[in-house]
Structure 1
Amino acid sequence: MLLMDLIAEIRRRHLVRHESISSIARDLKLCRQTVRRHCRTEAQPSYQRSRQPTPMLGAVQQTLETWLRTEGLLPKAQRRTAQRLFEGLQAEGYRGAYDSVQRFVRRWKADKSGPALAHAFIPLAFAPGEVCQFDWSHEHVELGGVMQTIKVAHFRLTFSRQMFVVAYPRETQEMVFDAHNRAFAFFGGVPQRMVYDNLKSVVETIFTGKERQFNRRFMVLANHYLFEPVACTPASGWEKGQVENQVGNIREWLFTPLARFISFDALNVWLATRCRELAQRKHPVTPERSIAACFAEEQPSLRQITATFDGYVEHMLRVSSTCLVAVDRNRYSVPAAFAGRAVSVRTSAAGVRIVADGAIVADHARRYGRDQLICDPWHYLPILERKPGALRNGVPFQQWDLPTPIRLVRDRILKQPKGDRAFVELLMMAREFGLEPLQVACELVLDGNVITAAVVLNEMRRLVAPSTPAMLNVPDMLKLQTEPRADCGRYDHLREVSHVIH
């Protein structure tokens, strides 16, 4: 019998039927004091458990408190759980139960967390297109068969709860710019405000209250898209609680179990697809509608994108004598004419551009990792013209992936006397007209018996020679009525005149 049922029966038998307390106690097998107390009970009784003693924990309690105080200063992700603390205490000689450690840790954290009011919050509501929250997280994936720790940029529209995530190898400013370009393209517009942590790529200086000095280059992004940046109070994650909660959900939904992809491009295509699929879930505030339906309502309120922001970070670097600039532990080639000069290097999430004299002189796809050499052989061709011997051992030319006919002809020509200089002449002509005429010329030469640079050069000139102009249709009024005839005798007359003069 439940407690309240028992109390109700005791009160009815004593107060209504006037049955004695002794009779009720004998019948229900209770002591008279209990029956007498229940006769006076009207509300549901509540019991509070007294603090359970932990005699086994007493010897190591001071050690445990020291650990909790020390780890309380660390980020939450670096603090040990009660289970890990229990294992540490066992190494210190503790022989008690895990439950004692768990209760002590819970009670200690509750005592240190302060009054409940400090953890009370007010529910918030946002207008369509008003606010979007941003945050980073790190996840573990397998890319190309290699385990990697990647950075994931999270965006969350606060009205519709529509999310967007994109992965990068690092958390640099150019990645922030590229993530915004992708997110605004995914949303189909720009919100009025963007809410951030105080990350260095966004905020340079934190002042009192909400006053911030934002990064100048980041403000160029904000000015381009015309949104207002807002920085949270330090260590106040609840100010952008939606995206903070999204980080944990995305880790559970998309990265557990381990995600495996060939490249970042394949991973990001899959992440964008999953964001659309997850939008079919119910909206947390209006469960009768889906997130996708709320997003369709919010999208017209977003500011339309007129142009994509050119999200690069610029550095002034000097080109080395080997025509290279070092960017993020990798080296990229620059045309030989700029060796020893200072150039502007613009790095974005996808590429590296080298600018000199107001023009882009080199453009490379960005590589990640370390100590990689990215060379464009055309950048070294002027040097090769003066030093043709470098054709055989020059790193840019060893890595050059030429079409098969050109490689076959090159190998034959390099075996001939002064073959390196002869093949360089072919490359100089190919620089002007492209590799396609050289490839066709090499295919024609390989069909014959004679393979020399002179024959290839002759075929190239024939291929690139201007075609014969078509005959013009001349109106009748412009045609000569009497066409002149060729008269070689006139030259004999000139000879006679010349003889007379002498």
Structure 2
Amino acid sequence: MLFDAHNRAFAFFGGVPKQMVYDNLKAVVQTILIGKERQFNPRFMALANHYLFEPVACTPASGWEKGQVENQVGNIREWLFTPRPRFACLTDLNDWLALRCRELASRRHPTEERPIAEVFAEERSALRAVVAPFDGYLEEMLRVSSTCLVRVDYNRYSVPAEFAGKAVSVRLAAYRLRIVHDMQIIAEHPRQFGRNHLICAPWHYLPVLAKKPGALRHGVPFIEWDLPIPIRHVRDRLLKQPKGDRAFFELLQLAREAGMEPLQVACELSLEAGIVTGAIVMNELRRLLTPPQPEVISLPEQLRLRSEPLADCARYDVLRGGAHVLY
């Protein structure tokens, strides 16, 4: 969250200051030494080196070093959080805060007869431009369980079935979680807050269906799969047919490479025809995925043959001669 706050602040301000002052929070300062000496968090120093700013830690019990920060915190609470707003998610809250800050910037500057935004526009030239945001995350090595899950912060996230039992690197950011194996991202999920959440991507378990197609009926990743309505109708009708689970698995296997949109169109065509079987849906899907025939090229008159060659089948009679027969 600290890394994400810096990224958002620098993007909002349009640059990076030369110095940043911190009040010795644990995520920034690991150890307070004598005087101004500090042992900073290595991951935080990676952030500071990325943006090229100097972190400065306050002296404990020296309130004068922070100037009017405490008073400004009280003002911000009054301007933004009184009465306390409510939002469905943190994204809505952040969007509203950015909009509210721009509205407050239209107020008069406390020491000048100009709006705050106009004064800050002049000071922005002193900021260092942001070349690229810092990829801030905490990394942990974990082993994937036999059920293709990793446990992070009391929640479980799915991993592709082929990595079951293998060690992976989990990179936890503010709002997302990435799972890496051999320097390749193999899974990505939105981060869940709270406890005992199960986040499953049905595509991760598709190889399991090759051995156990019946999991389509009772498997947790597939029961709660929010499929498009035509695909859902075809699935329900196929599962009532003999070996329908195997037929739907084959459709999903092809749709994994081609995408869900062609499968949805194929299901719609089958439903309109009134005959829904695995073979018919598969035929419609393959027809949609077949590349179109190349267009006929219109040759200019100069490239056309003046005398087209004639087929001379008599040439093959020469090969029938006894001299050319091998025993």
Using structure 1 for the length normalisation, give the TM-score. 0.61
Query: Are positions 1:283 and 2:109 aligned together?
Result: yes
Query: Are positions 1:261 and 2:84 aligned together?
Result: no
Structure 2 counterpart of 1:408, from 225, 233, 236: 233
Query: Are positions 1:434 and 2:259 aligned together?
Result: yes
Aligned residues: 326
Equivalence map 1:221-300=2 (5 Å) = 221-284=47-110, 286-300=111-125
Q: Which one has the largest radius of gyration?
A: 1
**Structure 2 residue aligned with 1:363:** 188
**Structure 1 residue aligned with 2:22:** 196
How big is each residue's C-alpha offset from its partner over 1:161-192, in whole Å with a ceiling of 9 and x where there is no partner? xxxxxxxxxxxxxx111111111111111111
**Structure 2 residue aligned with 1:342:** 167
**1:490, distance to aligned residue in structure 2 (A):** 7.2
**1:487, distance to aligned residue in structure 2 (A):** 6.3
Task: State the one-letter code of the partner of 2:76.
Answer: I
| RMSD across aligned positions (CA) | 2.4
Task: State the one-letter code of the partner of 2:262.
Answer: P
**1:476, distance to aligned residue in structure 2 (A):** 5.9
**Structure 2 residue aligned with 1:373:** 198
Equivalence map 1:444-455=2 (5 Å) = 444-455=269-280
Structure 2 counterpart of 1:215, from 33, 41, 44: 41
**1:202, distance to aligned residue in structure 2 (A):** 0.6
Query: Are positions 1:461 and 2:286 aligned together?
Result: yes
Task: State the one-letter code of the partner of 1:350.
Answer: Y
Q: Greater shift after overlay, 315-324 or 477-486?
A: 477-486
Change (3 A) 1:218 1:501: closer
Same amino acid, percent of matched pairs: 70
**Structure 2 residue aligned with 1:84:** none
**1:219, distance to aligned residue in structure 2 (A):** 0.6
Equivalence map 1:163-182=2 (5 Å) = 175-182=1-8
**Structure 2 residue aligned with 1:315:** 140
Q: Greater shift after overlay, 410-419 or 360-369?
A: 360-369
Change (3 A) 1:414 1:478: same
Task: State the one-letter code of the partner of 2:194.
Answer: G
**1:413, distance to aligned residue in structure 2 (A):** 0.6
Q: Which consecutive unaligned segments of at least 5 residues does structure 2 have?
A: none
Query: Are positions 1:419 and 2:244 aligned together?
Result: yes
**1:329, distance to aligned residue in structure 2 (A):** 1.6
Task: State the one-letter code of the partner of 2:172.
Answer: T
Q: Which consecutive unaligned segments of at least 5 residues does structure 1 have?
A: 1-174
**1:234, distance to aligned residue in structure 2 (A):** 2.1
Give me the whole-angstrom Cα distance separating, in 2, the residues matched to 1:220 and 1:316: 20
| Higher RCO (CA < 8 A, seq sep 6+) | 2
Using structure 2 for the length normalisation, give the TM-score. 0.92
SS at match of 1:244: helix
**1:282, distance to aligned residue in structure 2 (A):** 3.8
